[in-house]
């Protein structure tokens, strides 16, 4: 239950910009796909967004990829 991490919202992940593992702030965003289409209301997908603590590069990953 009690994780001994200094900050539970940060993960070590490989940052391609830094070329090494860095701390990332991870969040989930609901993004609307194809906003110009009439079906936009049905195309909202969760995305995992990780932001590098060092260079602030964002890596965005769609969560529902099968």
Binding flag, residue 52, Zn ion (CB under 5 A) = yes
Of 12 and 18, which CB lies nearer to Zn ion in the complex structure? 18
> Rounded to whole angstroms, how far apart are CA atoms 61 and 48?
5
- If one asks whether residue 55 binds Zn ion (CB under 5 A), the answer comes out as yes
Buried b vs exposed e over 2-34: b needs ≥16 C-beta within 10 Å?
eeeeeeeebeeeebeeeeeebbbebeeeeeeee
12 binds Zn ion (CB under 5 A): no
By CB under 5 A, tell whether 50 contacts Zn ion: no
Site residues (vs Zn ion, CB under 5 A):
15, 17-18, 52, 54-55, 57
């Amino acid at each position: 239950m009690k994780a001994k991490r200094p900050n539970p919202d940060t993960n070590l992940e490989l940052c391609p910009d830094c070329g090494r593992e860095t701390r990332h702030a991870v969040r989930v965003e609901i993004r609307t796909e194809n906003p110009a289409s009439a079906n936009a209301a049905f195309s909202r997908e969760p995305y995992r967004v990780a932001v590098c603590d060092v260079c602030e590069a964002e890596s965005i990953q769609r969560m529902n990829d099968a």
